[in-house]
Amino acid sequence: MEAEGIYGEHLPEMEKIIDEMKTRIDLLREHIRQKRGMDPVEHCLSRIKSEDSMREKCRRKGLPETADSVLFQIHDAIGFRIVCAFVSDVYMIRDYLADSDELEVIEEKDYIRNAKPNGYRSYHMILQTRGYYIEVQLRTISMDTWAALEHHLKYKKQISGNEDLIVKELKRCADELASTDVSMQTLRDMILDH
């Protein structure tokens, strides 16, 4: 298998870590479903970054294309994207992961409270378990939709001439979706308070 090349003997352990994380998240989802009657996670995606992507990232960072580089100097070989319906669920999942005895939080970036200039919102965590790093992105459905559409619009086509207008419109759309997230959170809180 081609993906085994750069990860070598580490690949089975990485796959085991993904399975354990999925189980951890599924157990939390079930616990919250029983407690609240609602699943806090709309969907959860996981991946081991492709060998080509990792080799390209090594070249970009000036690192040797080795297992040591991709596993211990670059921290996103194992990745999870957890998409929630509501902002409060994003932070609840964040707290659950941060409180886990098996996971150590290495880094966190809150792009929900501190959106990037282009409007990108998400909560990023770098976790470590048994010496391996896991990148986790936590988003609402709105944030995930915006990020996917922005990626298609901005990176799939060469932009010429209207770049400033496109950037402003993307930011406006991100702000509108963030406002919708706040409104939906308020509505849910009102419903749960009854």
pLDDT digits over 22-46, tens only?
Answer: 999 999 999 999 998 889 999 999 9
State how far the Cα of 34 lies from the Cα of 72, in Å rounded to an integer. 38
Q: What are phi and psi of 157, to 5 degrees?
A: -130, 150
In the block, tokens 């081609």 appear at: 2
- Which letter, b or e, does each residue of 8-41 get, where b requires 16 or more Cβ atoms within 10 Å of its Cβ? eebbeebeebbeebeebbeebbeebeeeeeeebb
State how far the Cα of 31 lies from the Cα of 54, in Å rounded to an integer. 36
**Domain map (residue ranges) of the chain:** 4-144
CA angle 155, 171, 166 (to 5 degrees): 50
Report the pLDDT value the prediction gives residue 113, as an integer from 0 to 100.
96
* Annotation: CATH topology of 4-144: Beta Polymerase; domain 2 (3.30.460)
Confidence of residue 192 (pLDDT cuts 50, 70, 90): confident
Residue type for position 172: R
Report the pLDDT value the prediction gives residue 33, as an integer from 0 to 100.
92
